[in-house]
Amino acid sequence: MLLTIADVVTKDELAQLRSQLKDVKFDDGKATAGPAVRDVKNNLQTVATDKAMEEPRRLLGAALLRNELLSQYALPRRILPPMFNRYDGGMEYGGHVDNAIMGGGEPMRADLSVTVFLTDPADYDGGELVINSDGAAQAVKLPAGAAVVYPSTSIHKVNKVTRGSRVCGVTWLQSFVRDENQRDMLFELMQIARWSRHAAAGSPEAMKISKIRTNLMRLWAEV
């Protein structure tokens, strides 16, 4: 299951990010690619040690952490500081799976991947993020400021950009609940629980739904 979230960053934050990224250095993405993906990775990405990266990473990281829908879907235990990538004309990223362990000196398991689109779709052609999820390939190209969250276990790719440039923020997180199916069920139960609080506030049924979700979280969560 993948989730799209509108307006993860506000219009003002989007303008700030675009301005800040003008001062950030982008290097060949192959520099950090492992042998399994080096031949299919053709993009540019920011350098983690670049001091100009600090503010855009902080801004986007804070926006992701405050997003209620992301929190309910992902149940984040830990999230990596975002990085940014750019695809100019002719660039693409072939089919691959994200690394299972990330975080360098403080390793974490990558359960979910997050892409935040920072370029208006009208400003570039191609560049769709294609995710093989639920047995089918889904092409994702969202408005600037929107995000897609999907299991890091999924094979995915970025189609070739044929006009303009595509800039995105990306990060990965470890969830309190490792199993994808369990996370999906907890998310659906959260949606039902929220509906029941409005439709039947204070009813035994609303309390029971809340109890079931809470106790499943207690059963499945890793702390």
Give the Cα separation of 165 and 110 in Å (integer): 27
Can you give the pLDDT at residue 165? Answer: 98
Phi, psi of 49 (to 5 degrees): -85, -5
Cβ(126)–Cβ(160) under 8 Å? yes
Can you give the pLDDT at residue 134? Answer: 74
> What is the chain's alpha carbon radius of gyration, rounded to the nearest angstrom?
18
Enter the tokens of residue 49: 């040690």
Helix (H) or strand (E) run with residue 74 in it: helix 68-74
Q: What is the CATH number of domain 3-175?
A: 2.60.120.620
Can you give the pLDDT at residue 191? Answer: 93
pLDDT digits (tens), the chain, 223 positions: 899 999 999 999 999 999 999 989 999 998 877 777 888 999 999 988 899 999 999 999 999 999 999 999 999 999 999 999 999 999 999 999 999 999 988 999 999 999 999 999 999 999 999 999 877 899 999 999 999 999 999 999 999 999 999 999 999 999 999 999 999 999 999 999 988 888 888 889 889 999 999 999 999 999 9
Can you give the pLDDT at residue 200? Answer: 82
Among 143, 149, 163, 18, which residue's Cα sits nearest to residue 84? 18
Neighbour-count burial of 94, counting CB atoms closer than 10 A to its CB (0-12 exposed, 13-18 middle, 19+ buried): middle
